[in-house]
Amino acid sequence: MNPTSSTPLALRSKVPDSEKITINLGYVDLGHIDLLVSEGFYANRTDFIRTAIRNQLSTQNEEVRQVVARKMLVLGLQRFGRTDLEAVQAAGQTLEIRVLGLASIEDDVPPALAQATIASVTVLGAFHASPAVKAALAGRIG
pTM here?
A: 0.70
| pLDDT tens string 112-130 | 999 999 999 999 999 999 9
Contact yes or no for 142/122 (Cβ under 8 A):
yes
Rg (alpha carbons) of the chain, rounded to whole number: 19
Same structural domain for residues 69 and 94?
yes
Q: With a cut of 50, say whether residue 59 has pLDDT above it.
A: yes
Q: With a cut of 60, say whether residue 97 has pLDDT above it.
A: yes
Same structural domain for residues 67 and 48?
no
Q: With a cut of 90, say whether residue 12 has pLDDT above it.
A: no
Same structural domain for residues 84 and 136?
yes
Same structural domain for residues 53 and 78?
no
Give the model's pLDDT for residue 15: 62
Residue 11 lies in a domain: no
Domain limits for position 80: 63-140
Q: With a cut of 70, say whether residue 14 has pLDDT above it.
A: no
Contact yes or no for 103/123 (Cβ under 8 A):
yes
Instruction: Give the pLDDT mean for 59-69.
Output: 89
Q: Which residues, listed in sequence order, are joined to residue 127 by a DSSP beta bridge?
A: 103
Same structural domain for residues 50 and 92?
no
Residue 33 lies in a domain: yes
Q: With a cut of 90, say whether residue 50 has pLDDT above it.
A: yes
Same structural domain for residues 48 and 67?
no
Q: With a cut of 70, say whether residue 9 has pLDDT above it.
A: no
Q: With a cut of 50, say whether residue 72 has pLDDT above it.
A: yes
Residue 18 lies in a domain: no
- Which of 59, 74, 107 is the last residue in one of the domains? 59
Same structural domain for residues 46 and 111?
no
Same structural domain for residues 131 and 67?
yes
Total number of domains in the chain: 2
Give the model's pLDDT for residue 81: 96
What is the phi/psi pair of residue 63, to 5°?
A: -65, -45
Same structural domain for residues 49 and 94?
no
Same structural domain for residues 71 and 51?
no
Give the model's pLDDT for residue 11: 40
Same structural domain for residues 83 and 117?
yes
Same structural domain for residues 96 and 75?
yes
- The Cα 39–Cα 43 span in angstroms is 10
